[in-house]
Amino acid sequence: MSQTRRTFAIISHPDAGKTTLTEKLLLQGGAIHLAGEVKARGQARRARSDWMKIEQQRGISVTSSVMTFEREGITFNLLDTPGHEDFSEDTYRTLTAVDSAIMVIDAAKGIEPQTRKLFEVCRLRSVPIITFINKVDREGRACFDLMDEVADKLALDVCPMSWPIGMGGQFQGILDLDSRKVSRPEGPSREFLGTVEEGVTLPDDVAEELELAEAGYPTFDIDAYRGGDLTPVFFGSALKNFGVSELIDAIARFAPPPRPQPSEAGTIEPDNAEVTGFIFKVQANMDPMHRDRIAFMRLVSGTFKRGMKLTPSGLGKPIAVHSPILFFAQDRELADSAEPGDIIGIPNHGTLRVGDTLSERNQVRFTGLPNFAPEILRRVALKDPTKTKQLRKALDDLSEEGVIQVFYPEIGSQWVVGVVGQLQLDVLISRLEAEYKVGATLEAAPFDTARWLKGTDKALSDFAEFNKMNLARDRDGDPVFMARSAWDVNYQQERNPDLTFCATKER
Ligand code: GDP
């Protein structure tokens, strides 16, 4: 069953066209449902009512977290990577729950900062990437220029899978390099002009470009792609729906089915009969007074059935999963079960934490679910200095839940919180007040980022001798270097070759 699943995410910089492409993928895939629009019949009706009840009563919107569509026997699970102002550690963590990704690049802009950050997270786990160079209906940069930028900046082999025939005003269509078919942006849907061999002529300059491209770049190699070393590149226009169906075909044909997941006791294969999964994201109620949460579990192995008892690694005793949100609940047969690669939303009151493993026999612990180095650091200042204890408890709780990270400096008494997105700081302040009755403000910290330190005791104490001002402990007591800048990190890494400055920490 799991061979038919493709669980993936789209990584891009804001405005590159992720939303437009998502819509087109869902449309072309004949989306089963968007946001809980499950067909209202039989079991499926129950699924929908659960869903809406949860959304309304708990004020939690799970609307676009997972979007599922089906095409030619393949089930696609598209996981949303929140961007823009809601960019957070969740955005990164979602990438630990996918088997592959589509990288969308604006043809006029090339690789932008957020694309690059998200790409680096994919690289950590060798997540294979298909590149989609979007907006070729507008004037963009030269194709070679864009391909070379991907290759150079990301240190990836690139392989063209299609080629635009002109761009902007000159845009005439897209040539699929494998089938040699040309599709043109005419009529209600795309129109095939036939193949080059059948006599479709290409403008001289395009024919020349193609010759160069085919000679200059490696040919597609599925193993290199799946190993994360090569990215096939498609050109298209999400807005005009060009090259989108080729993209879906590419995911169906090349993208890996659910991958085995590393655990403390070795790798767990998807066809393992025991139901196992891990929590990669916890969404809290919009209303901070309610402790209701939805935990998103990626199923790793086994067939999940509604009502099943699973034991969360953080709790030790089993919970019955009675009202899971099954994102692909499109019909009677499927509404009550899920397969490896699928995502299940589990309503709970704060018992499930990011990084938890859930399993039937409670013997598996998944690894490879890292914390990511914060990109924004702030000092926490108490309004009422007698509330230190409450603050510490709150910061420990919230960091365990994955809302923030907390660092306790070796020198000085002001604790530092770290996040990767601004919105997390607002969430922190309002939850401190509502749930812990702690009034606090945030102040600028003299640090820009943090790195977990790894090395021998000697290397660590030698380093500490000269850098006490910049040392802190995280919630688990592990040593952290608080850096003034990325430059500072590189500088210290060079001077201290016996230490490793890690941008992620495995839970
Ligand atoms: P997101 O921020 O990555 O989700 O980007 P959106 O999908 O919201 O797109 C940003 C803007 O680019 C919108 O105005 C879109 O209409 C436009 N856009 C997206 N895809 C294309 C495309 O293929 N061609 C053109 N010309 N505009 C596009």
Cα(299) to ligand 1 centroid in Å equals 32
Helix (H, G, I), strand (E, B) or coil at 255: coil
Whether pLDDT at 141 is above 90: yes
Helix (H, G, I), strand (E, B) or coil at 289: coil
Q: Residue 161: which pLDDT band, with cuts at 50, 70 and 90?
A: very high
Q: Residue 61: which pLDDT band, with cuts at 50, 70 and 90?
A: low
Cα(16) to ligand 1 centroid in Å equals 6
Establish whether 12 is an annotated binding residue.
yes
Establish whether 15 is an annotated binding residue.
yes
What pLDDT does 143 receive? 95
What pLDDT does 39 receive? 36
Share of the chain above pLDDT 70, in %: 87
- Token pair for residue 33? 């449902």
ipTM (interface predicted TM): 0.99
The DSSP output letter for 239 is T
Q: Which residues line ligand 1 (CB under 6 A)?
A: 12, 14-20, 134-135, 137-138, 237-240
Residue 400: name the closest of 451, 347, 474 by CA. Answer: 474
- Ligand 1 test: best mutation among 18, 19, 20, most atoms within 8 Å of CB? 20
Report the chain's terminal Cα–Cα distance, integer Å.
30
- Token pair for residue 356? 């938890």
Spatial distance between the Cα atoms of 76 and 26, rounded to a whole number of angstroms: 10
Pairing between strand 357-359 and 276-284?
antiparallel
- Token pair for residue 258? 């659910």
What DSSP letter does each residue of 5-40 carry, written as one string?
Answer: EEEEEEEE-TTSSHHHHHHHHHHHTT-S-STT----
Give the residue carrying structure tokens 């009502």. 307
Cα(208) to ligand 1 centroid in Å equals 30
What pLDDT does 360 receive? 95
Residue 370: name the closest of 420, 315, 432 by CA. Answer: 420
- CA 293 to chain CA centroid, Å, is 20
Share of the chain above pLDDT 90, in %: 55
Protein residue with its CA nearest to atom 2 in ligand 1 = 15
What DSSP letter does each residue of 42-86 carry, written as one string?
Answer: HHHHHHHHHHHHHHHHH----TTTEEEEEETTEEEEEE----GGG
What pLDDT does 199 receive? 64
What pLDDT does 45 receive? 43
- Token pair for residue 286? 């919009």
What pLDDT does 31 receive? 54
Whether pLDDT at 30 is above 70: no
How many residues can be counted in the chain? Answer: 507
In order of 32, 49, 62, 154, 324, the CA distances from 46 in angstroms are 16, 5, 17, 46, 11
How many of the other CB atoms lie within 10 Å of CB of 482? 23
Whether pLDDT at 335 is above 70: no
Whether pLDDT at 89 is above 70: yes
- Based on its alpha-carbon atoms, the radius of gyration of the chain, rounded to whole angstroms, reads 24
Whether pLDDT at 97 is above 50: yes
Residues 162-181 pLDDT 10s: 999 888 888 888 888 988 88
Span of 253-257, 262-266, 347-351 with lowest mean pLDDT: 347-351
What pLDDT does 195 receive? 66
SS3 per residue for 299-358: EEECCEECCCEEEECCCCCCEECCCCEECCCCCCCCCCEECCCCEEEEEECCCCCCCCEE
pTM of the model: 0.87
Residues 105-115 pLDDT 10s: 999 999 999 99
**What mean pLDDT is predicted for residues 155-162?**
96
- CA 235 to chain CA centroid, Å, is 22
Establish whether 137 is an annotated binding residue.
yes
Q: Residue 395: which pLDDT band, with cuts at 50, 70 and 90?
A: very high
Residues 448-489 pLDDT 10s: 999 999 999 999 999 999 999 999 999 889 999 999 998 999
Establish whether 168 is an annotated binding residue.
no
Q: Which atom of ligand 1 is nearest to the CA of 238?
A: 23
Span of 187-191, 266-270, 288-292, 318-322 with lowest mean pLDDT: 187-191
